[in-house]
Amino acid sequence: MSFIVDNCPRCNAALITFDVKAYNLISIVEGERGGSTKCYEIYCVCKSCKKGTIFITYEKKSSSLHENFILNNGMNLNSFLHIVRPVTPADISIPEPPEFLPPDINNAFIEGTKCLAIGCYNAAATMFRLCLDYATKGLLPEGDEPNQKVKRSLGLRMEWLFEQKILPEVLRELAQCVKEDGNDGAHEGTLDKESAEDLEEFTRLLLERLYTEPQRLIDAKKRREERRNKDIALN
């Protein structure tokens, strides 16, 4: 039986061994240095208190892990998986983030949806704006344009990106949920549920345009090439 070593959230034992009982692939996200990495939920049982915990984990970049060996190979999975945290009640009612997000944006989006699910609207908005901040900074060209004021302000930056046709025009109207300075509502603690939900919807749509749809096209092209190469080999 494979195992992992981590702190137990049930009995607070430090660096205790857990027997791995089951696993589930829940998503694939973009790796920090290109490529993609798999996100697993790992169900395991603490050797100390004999209670079960589900850990959220990411496959390490250098990992050579094969899913068939996760349960039955007697391995220490810490060598192959980065353990993020245990699953908590806040995970139960949140929607999945868009596919193929960079890890920092993926984690911020998940945190935002958790805050939204439990009614912490200002905290949720802060995390969604952080997602937009990460995503849009990478779209700016090098050089003096736009000016520093635009570069620093999320709202002004996004308006500039729309004007330059870098962001899709069809999303401009939905972008009204982003304030000019990027976080005045959250700073003042004045955001309501509807405002936070509007921001979550816009953030999801924009991230899908920037990350999910391009990667799906790449994957579809790859599958098409594999089918054609297979047909050529058969002929």
Which pLDDT does position 83 carry in this prediction?
94
pLDDT (tens digit, 9 = 90+) per residue, 60-105? Answer: 865 666 776 677 778 899 988 999 999 987 777 788 899 999 999 9
Report the candidate in 164, 179, 174, 163 with the shortest Cα–Cα distance to residue 205.
Answer: 174
Question: Do 19 and 44 form a contact (C-beta atoms < 8 A)?
Answer: yes
Report residues of the chain scoring pLDDT below 50.
Answer: 180-182, 184
Q: How would DSSP label each residue in 16-68? A: EEEEEEEEEEEEEEE-BTBSEEEEEEEEEEETTT--EEEEEEEE-TT----GG
The H or E element containing residue 3 is: strand 3-6
Which are the contacts of 170, defined by CB distance < 8 A and separation ≥ 6? none
Hey, what are 90's tokens? 């806040």
The one-letter amino acid at 191: L
Which are the contacts of 67, defined by CB distance < 8 A and separation ≥ 6? 23, 25
Hey, what are 67's tokens? 């899913």
Report the candidate in 129, 111, 100 with the shortest Cα–Cα distance to residue 56.
Answer: 111
